[in-house]
Structure 1
Amino acid sequence: MRKDAGRSRCGGTGTWHPGVGGAGRAGSYPEEPVTLVVPRPPGGITDQLGRLVAARMARDGGIRVIVDNRPDAGGNPATELAARAEPDGYTVLMGTQGTMASNQYLYKALRFDPARDFVAAQGLVSIPNVLVVNSRLPYQSVKDLVTFARANPGKLTVSSAGDGTGTHLAAELFQAQAGVKFVHIPYKGSAPSINDLLAGQVDMTFDYPVSTLAQIQAGKLRALAVTGSARLPALPQVPTIAEAGYPAAESTSWIGLFFPASTPAAIVARWQADIGRMLQDPAAVDAIHKMGGVPLPLSGQPFANFVQAERSKWKATIQRSGATID
């Protein structure tokens, strides 16, 4: 979609309002509440993080933020809405690994370009997956799992929260790097995936700490590895996927702030400064850990470079796997 000077600003109610050119508004910013578009339903980590950002921007930055949840179709409509918004600092997107890196390779036709239509402003949170198996299975390590899988291709099943989700793509990346082949069983969300894993209907999954930690601690699931770059504070005994021998299988879901392209640099910098301070606040870091994530304190060009590297990684993974959604 080609942006044009006549587009309008997105309000928290989803209505369109006559816009004023962004460049002329930076000096008096903010004159009204800012809409934070969240491409996920209420209650999940993206929503929780959005509300943490809203509270901190109000308290520390003097900016009132309205959280606008728009969970449909993998977050694509929400992302398109933000892409079309007036670039005046009054619309900010909580972009995710899906909406900003992998969806463009999973969906046949998106009406926005995540690289062209947005400024990658600020990283927020990185969320590793945990490779878990039913505790009744004999595998005590990633090595055990891979040894069996190589000798028995296609006999192990891996569940996910759905085709193209982070839980699915983490499994595809691991299979490619480990030289194994699992049978993918997609579900409509993490809850039914985990339920069937607990019941022994599937063998493993790569899901998030918030979905797996209680069952790991109860001894019903066995954690073999975490896919992030560091061990999780809640699971200090569980090695990273790199420590288990597969550094190229490292993967995370992540969340960051994105502004419509051409948003004044001064406004973007103000958010970067305030959010940068938030990510150094022990109370905010503790809240992020309780969500199952770790801070992702990348800002400006380093964050943009990270996002571009993610696009390249997931493009290759998706093309190799043949995954598609529509």
Structure 2
Amino acid sequence: MKKTVVFLLLALMIFPLYAEGQKEASAYEWQPAKPVNLIVPWGAGGSTDRSARTTAAVVEAVLGQKIVVVNQPGASGSVGTQGVLDADKDGMKWVAGAVKDLGVYKVQGMIDTTLDDWNLYLNVAMPNVVAVSIDSPYNDFGDLLADMKANPGQVRVATAGVNSAGHTAIELIKKYTGVEYKHVTYDGGNPAVIATVGGEADVVPQLSVEEVDMLKAGKLKALCVMTDKGLVLDGMSEEIPPITNWIKDFKAAPTYFGIFIPKGVPSIVTDTMDKIWEDVVMESPELKDWAAKNAVVFDPCYGEEALEKSFPMVQISAWLKYDSGDAVIDPSTIGIPRP
């Protein structure tokens, strides 16, 4: 009899907690019955991987289901992205990345897709930082430019590959200055950074989030940030100078990252994701803290706002590739006007 009373008391104490958990889990209409796969089409440790994992943790906490992050690098992100595009449109497979990559695959003849094929859920915007190993003879961006002009095609530039943020960055520098360089490619931003630290390459122009750990550890030194304003990393007092100190008329746009879900999935999936972004991601203290520590801009959005904010860098990247001969079609024929 005493045991029965104890069990009843325990049940009365536990049930409200269980009910509250059920209420939270059912706050959103779509409740997937199995884990969702989030494909990161680049290597581990890079900008896409790190921002995707941080965001996935925020989303799965309210979705009530595990989001499994899977790295599938290859062909500048096109292999993993193509796999998600070709998968069943049941909402169970997403891909992460930079909108500018997604927007120029067709221009380069890599994937027959445009931004019209995707639902965009953005988390952060990231600047490029031009950095070298701590032992490099380059003390500022001017030193680097002088050497590249004096020795055309000899300076080794490490990036995450063709179509990566780093490749777009060095091509922008080439556009404004006319310098030539030796392109050394890797399967992600993190390997490109490590290669530069180790002396395999002379310079890396990848994103701040991929370089921040080595910069703080004193193994990389930043020559400039590719914006018109300086950048101060969390925990470091010295500002990284803007590239406009050397290239006065330099113009770029933010590189936005996020999670992309193919159109054609059930509307319950995107309706739920819209609400999660509005209610949770756009207010997430975890994501805000991660952004601050990694020198990126916390700016979550979705839908038309996401397209409007991210499209300028798509334009810059698409036309940069077209003008340099790296495109197979005219960007204007697929709705990307010249910026």
Per the TM superposition, whether the score is higher than 0.5 is yes
Query: CA 1:82–1:157 in 2, change beyond 3 Å: closer, same or farther?
Result: closer
Query: CA 1:92–1:232 in 2, change beyond 3 Å: closer, same or farther?
Result: farther
Once residues 250 and 123 of structure 2 are traced to their aligned partners in structure 1, the CA distance between those partners, rounded to angstroms, is 23
Amino acid at match of 1:301: E
Once residues 285 and 277 of structure 2 are traced to their aligned partners in structure 1, the CA distance between those partners, rounded to angstroms, is 13
Give matches, 1:295-306, under 5 Å: 295-306=298-309
Query: CA 1:44–1:137 in 2, change beyond 3 Å: closer, same or farther?
Result: closer
* Greater Rg by CA: 2
Does the Cα contact within 8 Å between 2:47 and 2:210 map onto a contact in 1? Answer: no
Q: Provide the residue aligned with 2:105 in structure 1.
A: 103
Once residues 42 and 144 of structure 1 are traced to their aligned partners in structure 2, the CA distance between those partners, rounded to angstroms, is 32
Does the Cα contact within 8 Å between 1:101 and 1:307 map onto a contact in 2? Answer: no
Query: CA 1:219–1:77 in 2, change beyond 3 Å: closer, same or farther?
Result: closer
Shift of the alpha carbon at 1:170?
0.7
Once residues 116 and 298 of structure 1 are traced to their aligned partners in structure 2, the CA distance between those partners, rounded to angstroms, is 17
Q: Provide the residue aligned with 2:178 in structure 1.
A: 180
Amino acid at match of 2:182: H
Give matches, 1:60-79, under 5 Å: 60-79=62-81
Once residues 201 and 281 of structure 1 are traced to their aligned partners in structure 2, the CA distance between those partners, rounded to angstroms, is 38
Shift of the alpha carbon at 1:318?
1.5
What is the SS of the residue equivalent to 2:318?
A: helix
Once residues 31 and 216 of structure 1 are traced to their aligned partners in structure 2, the CA distance between those partners, rounded to angstroms, is 40
Once residues 276 and 254 of structure 2 are traced to their aligned partners in structure 1, the CA distance between those partners, rounded to angstroms, is 24
Does the Cα contact within 8 Å between 2:48 and 2:257 map onto a contact in 1? Answer: yes
What is the SS of the residue equivalent to 1:78?
A: helix
Amino acid at match of 1:257: I
Does the Cα contact within 8 Å between 1:57 and 1:274 map onto a contact in 2? Answer: yes
Amino acid at match of 1:311: V
Aligned partner of 2:324 among 311, 321, 324: 321
Amino acid at match of 1:318: K
What is the SS of the residue equivalent to 1:132?
A: strand
Note the aligned Cα RMSD (angstroms): 3.6
What is the SS of the residue equivalent to 1:51?
A: helix
Does the Cα contact within 8 Å between 1:146 and 1:180 map onto a contact in 2? Answer: no
Deviation digits for residues 24-76 of structure 1 (CA, Å, limit 9, x no counterpart) = xxx95224235243223455443343333333223234354343443333332
Greater share of residues in helix: 2
Question: Which 5+ residue runs of structure 2 have no aligned equivalent?
Answer: 1-27, 329-339
What is the SS of the residue equivalent to 1:46?
A: helix
Aligned partner of 1:250 among 249, 252, 268: 252
Once residues 254 and 60 of structure 2 are traced to their aligned partners in structure 1, the CA distance between those partners, rounded to angstroms, is 29
Shift of the alpha carbon at 1:133?
3.3
Query: CA 1:80–1:229 in 2, change beyond 3 Å: closer, same or farther?
Result: farther
Does the Cα contact within 8 Å between 1:85 and 1:260 map onto a contact in 2? Answer: no
Amino acid at match of 1:126: A
Q: Provide the residue aligned with 2:22 in structure 1.
A: none
Number of equivalent positions: 295
What is the SS of the residue equivalent to 1:105?
A: coil
Give matches, 1:208-247, under 5 Å: 208-217=207-216, 219-228=218-227, 231-234=231-234, 237-242=239-244, 245-246=247-248
Q: Provide the residue aligned with 1:159 in structure 2.
A: 158
Q: Provide the residue aligned with 1:4 in structure 2.
A: none
Question: Which 5+ residue runs of structure 1 have no aligned equivalent?
Answer: 1-26
Aligned partner of 1:283 among 258, 283, 286: 286
Query: CA 1:131–1:285 in 2, change beyond 3 Å: closer, same or farther?
Result: same
State percent identity of aligned pairs: 22
What is the SS of the residue equivalent to 1:255?
A: strand
Shift of the alpha carbon at 1:144?
4.8
Does the Cα contact within 8 Å between 2:130 and 2:222 map onto a contact in 1? Answer: yes
Q: Provide the residue aligned with 2:56 in structure 1.
A: 54
What is the SS of the residue equivalent to 2:102?
A: helix
Shift of the alpha carbon at 1:286?
1.6
Q: Provide the residue aligned with 1:310 in structure 2.
A: 313
Once residues 268 and 165 of structure 1 are traced to their aligned partners in structure 2, the CA distance between those partners, rounded to angstroms, is 27
Once residues 53 and 174 of structure 1 are traced to their aligned partners in structure 2, the CA distance between those partners, rounded to angstroms, is 31
Shift of the alpha carbon at 1:167?
1.4
Scaled by the length of structure 2, the TM-score of the pair is: 0.70
Shift of the alpha carbon at 1:88?
4.6
Scaled by the length of structure 1, the TM-score of the pair is: 0.72
Amino acid at match of 1:180: G
Q: Provide the residue aligned with 2:124 in structure 1.
A: 125
Shift of the alpha carbon at 1:315?
1.2
Shift of the alpha carbon at 1:289?
4.1
Shift of the alpha carbon at 1:124?
1.2
Does the Cα contact within 8 Å between 1:288 and 1:295 map onto a contact in 2? Answer: yes
